[in-house]
A and B are shown apart, each in its own frame.
Chain A
Amino acid sequence: MELTGAQIFLECLKKEGVEVVFGYPGGAIIDIYDQLPNYPFKHILVRHEQGAVHAADGYARATGEAGVCLVTSGPGATNAVTGIATAYMDSIPVVIFTGQVPTPLIGNDAFQEVDIVGITRPCTKHNYLVKDINELAFTVRQAFYLARSGRPGPVLVDLPKDIMQAKAEFVWPEDVSLRSYNPNLTPHIGQIKKVAKLIEKAERPVIYAGGGVISSGAEDELTWLAKSLNIPVTATLMGLGAFPGDDPLWLGMLGMHGTYAANMAINNSDLVLAIGARFDDRVTGKVDTFAPKATLVHIDIDPTSIQKNVAVHVPLVADCKSALSSLKSVIEPILDQTYSEDSHAVWVRQVQQWSETHPLRYNKGGSFIKPQYVVEKVYEISNGDAIVATEVGQNQMWAAQFYKFKKSKSFLSSGGLGTMGYGLPAAIGAQMAFPDRLVVNIAGDGSIQMNIQELMTAVCNDLPVKIVILNNGYLGMVRQWQELFYNRNYCETCMDAQPDFVKLAEAYGAVGFRVTEEKDVVPVLTEAFALPKVCIIDVRVDPEENVYPMVPAGASLADMLLV
């Protein structure tokens, strides 16, 4: 039986096991929406297409499955671009379907036409324009395959309206392979043995884990390696949760706002094992002085990540999980002969001492509520089990520093692109995947206003996310830079003209709280977290609190500004 393009498209989503679609309709995509009620997907109608992509991205980060979104052509597609770039920078599998004007009109500046394939070429893993209905199913299949496999990432498929209306037989291609795309998953065993030897000889090893550990599902292997060999672990923002944040070997995050212990460990280490991390400039600081005494081993599935920013001594192209299990199989048989209870004991003692002498801290007392205190309480009240999304800025860094992530896939944050407005829609995506878990968006008063319209999406879909605004009345992180490096020239960072967030919550049908005194933080958070409703908790925090420690941009990790 012949189906329309729209039906074939939806059949493909069914075959791919899609459960949720985040989207926003329009003329160019209306044929798909026309068929949607006949299919078993849950469609979440967002209020802005950027929100659709972030929500699909949050869904993907929390579940490990591909997120899906559906938007119309032209302005719908361009609104999605920031979300796409965000997913691209953090290697998140999202498949974006955009409507397009009918093929005979393409290139004619038709109504709501934009060359979205051209626009998103640099910020997708790959993208397609479907020009023939007979290629539709195959293209959708490839798109999902590309998004999920290898180094994951967003893939966009542009769907012209006439193709959605044309008819053809639905043929599902069971197999998918591309002659030009063969990610290398399994490690070179020679390299693995070399790494095992290096670890054996190292006196001051440290593991630097990134998002690749989480996307490949290598958390257990990583934990085995660290614990069996007694190696301290630090992670990037994207790697938080890959290793239990309450373990004695955990050093905290490294880099610009990393802990003293993590950065000193890197600085004094004789062996750095970089696993699924990409030596981002927010992590390395001045590259020439990164880990100056160490042999660098770099495990990554993407060959382009290796030797891009930093010259490493032992490159290893492989999926992190497969590399670490291979390493385990080499080390495990000789574990007892080679390693003792107190292997690296002196070193571990040393790094723990750094943690003790320079813990993450902030000045307590005073008349203001400290934002760090709020994050600590969010951690305690949620028992460390929440899914935490963040916006971007100081709020993001305090969440990363003061919430101890015990499990992976529970920290959703825009690392690579640093997208303000990410947190709320991402939290909605995660809550959609896990209706029974507590999902908290730690927000800044600036960022939350970038996609505030998604409150309506949360409310009308009964997705009871909790938005904790660390309200400092400033674009705090920029203000911090102005204070430290621009002579306190607070140009255009004071945001004290604000909506009444409590009334705003109420206007959307959510519940609003305002907290102005420290003693109310715990009771209000406790009450809000227990409510099965969307809540905004507007916490008025110290307006001039800064994030410390801090490595100034371009400085060496050794040159940290402490509190």
Chain B
Amino acid sequence: MRHTLSVMVENEPGVLSRVVGLFSGRGFNIESLNVAPTLEEGVSLMTITTVGDEQIIEQIVKQLRKLVTVIKVVDLTELKSVEREMVLLKVNAEDAKRAEILRIVDIFRCKVVDVSVDELTLEVTGDHGKIDALINLLSRFGIKEVARTGTVAMKRALQV
């Protein structure tokens, strides 16, 4: 199963390689990884999505917690959480197809961020499912390039 881990780390040199090295050294899988500073000085937040059975995920979480530079690890999968990813997509858009693509852009609430004679570049934000659906839909027009940020996530304020 796919899990989303929220990992709070000391923002110091080498911390990313400690985390990534843990995954590669122990044969765990990273699907996406996103890191950036938080409001708290010296602390960064990593969002890691990974796939594995329960025992593997338990090991990943424990091994992450064991790293001296890791402050906190939360598996958001068991919690109610908000997950988003931003993607830039460059898609073929000759005149005949343009209107249809723009309709899809509308439905998915994407933005057109760049236009050329026969291409559109779209910006889309959403959860895993939405992004997959969009890519799926656009693929028949020919997607030329994709750049994804990887998932960022946060647990919802109210947990029942």
Question: A residues touching B (Cβ–Cβ < 8 Å)?
Answer: 117-118, 121-122, 125-126, 129, 146, 178-181, 302-304, 307-308, 311
Q: Flag if A308 contacts B68 (CB, 8 Å).
A: no
Q: Flag if B21 contacts A146 (CB, 8 Å).
A: no
Q: Flag if B66 contacts A303 (CB, 8 Å).
A: yes
Complex: A516 Cα to B21 Cα, angstroms: 51
Query: Nearest A residue to B25 by beta-carbon distance?
Result: A122
Q: Flag if A304 contacts B14 (CB, 8 Å).
A: no
From known contacts A181-B68, A303-B66, A304-B66, infer whether A121 and B14 are also in contact, taking CB-CB under 8 Å. Answer: yes
From known contacts A180-B69, A180-B70, A302-B66, infer whether A307 and B59 are also in contact, taking CB-CB under 8 Å. Answer: yes
Chain B binding surface, main DSSP class: helix
From B17, B21, B55, B62, A303 is in contact (CB under 8 Å) with: B62
From B59, B70, B71, A308 is in contact (CB under 8 Å) with: B59
B139 within 8 A of partner (CB): no
Complex: A308 Cα to B26 Cα, angstroms: 11
Query: Nearest B residue to A179 by beta-carbon distance?
Result: B71
Q: Within the complex, what minimum Cβ distance (angstroms) separates A353 from chain B?
A: 37
Question: B residues touching A (Cβ–Cβ < 8 Å)?
Answer: 10, 13-14, 17-18, 21, 25, 55, 58-59, 62-63, 65-72
From known contacts A121-B14, A180-B10, infer whether A146 and B68 are also in contact, taking CB-CB under 8 Å. Answer: yes
Query: Nearest A residue to B68 by beta-carbon distance?
Result: A126
- Chain A residues whose CB sits within 8 angstroms of the CB of B55 once the complex forms: 307, 311
Query: Nearest A residue to B72 by beta-carbon distance?
Result: A180
Q: Flag if B21 contacts A122 (CB, 8 Å).
A: yes
- Chain A residues whose CB sits within 8 angstroms of the CB of B67 once the complex forms: 180
Q: Within the complex, what minimum Cβ distance (angstroms) separates B144 from chain A?
A: 37
Complex: A125 Cα to B22 Cα, angstroms: 12
Q: Flag if B17 contacts A118 (CB, 8 Å).
A: yes
Complex: A303 Cα to B71 Cα, angstroms: 16
Complex: A126 Cα to B62 Cα, angstroms: 16
Complex: A178 Cα to B55 Cα, angstroms: 28
Complex: A178 Cα to B21 Cα, angstroms: 22
- Chain B residues whose CB sits within 8 angstroms of the CB of A181 once the complex forms: 68
Q: Within the complex, what minimum Cβ distance (angstroms) separates B152 from chain A?
A: 21
- Chain A residues whose CB sits within 8 angstroms of the CB of B71 once the complex forms: 179-180
Q: Flag if A303 contacts B65 (CB, 8 Å).
A: yes
Complex: A311 Cα to B53 Cα, angstroms: 13
Q: Flag if A121 contacts B59 (CB, 8 Å).
A: no
- Chain A residues whose CB sits within 8 angstroms of the CB of B18 once the complex forms: 121
The 10 closest A-B pairs by CB, nearest first: A126-B68, A304-B62, A180-B71, A303-B62, A122-B25, A181-B68, A304-B63, A304-B66, A121-B21, A180-B70
Q: List 25 A-B contacts (CB under 8 A).
A: A118-B14, A118-B17, A121-B18, A121-B21, A122-B21, A122-B25, A125-B68, A126-B68, A126-B69, A178-B68, A179-B71, A180-B10, A180-B68, A180-B72, A181-B68, A302-B66, A303-B62, A303-B66, A304-B59, A304-B63, A307-B55, A307-B58, A307-B59, A308-B59, A311-B55
Q: Within the complex, what minimum Cβ distance (angstroms) separates B73 from chain A?
A: 10
Complex: A311 Cα to B71 Cα, angstroms: 27
Q: Flag if B17 contacts A121 (CB, 8 Å).
A: yes
Complex: A181 Cα to B67 Cα, angstroms: 8
- Chain B residues whose CB sits within 8 angstroms of the CB of A126 once the complex forms: 68-69
- Chain B residues whose CB sits within 8 angstroms of the CB of A302 once the complex forms: 66
Complex: A9 Cα to B26 Cα, angstroms: 35
Q: Within the complex, what minimum Cβ distance (angstroms) separates B16 from chain A?
A: 11
Tell me which of B55, B59, B68 has the highest count of chain A C-beta atoms within 10 A of its own C-beta.
Answer: B68
Complex: A118 Cα to B17 Cα, angstroms: 8
Complex: A146 Cα to B66 Cα, angstroms: 12
Q: Within the complex, what minimum Cβ distance (angstroms) separates B23 from chain A?
A: 11
Complex: A303 Cα to B62 Cα, angstroms: 7
- Chain B residues whose CB sits within 8 angstroms of the CB of A121 once the complex forms: 14, 17-18, 21
- Chain B residues whose CB sits within 8 angstroms of the CB of A146 once the complex forms: 68
Q: Within the complex, what minimum Cβ distance (angstroms) separates B120 from chain A?
A: 42
Query: Nearest B residue to A311 by beta-carbon distance?
Result: B55
Complex: A146 Cα to B69 Cα, angstroms: 12
Complex: A492 Cα to B94 Cα, angstroms: 68
Q: Within the complex, what minimum Cβ distance (angstroms) separates B132 from chain A?
A: 32
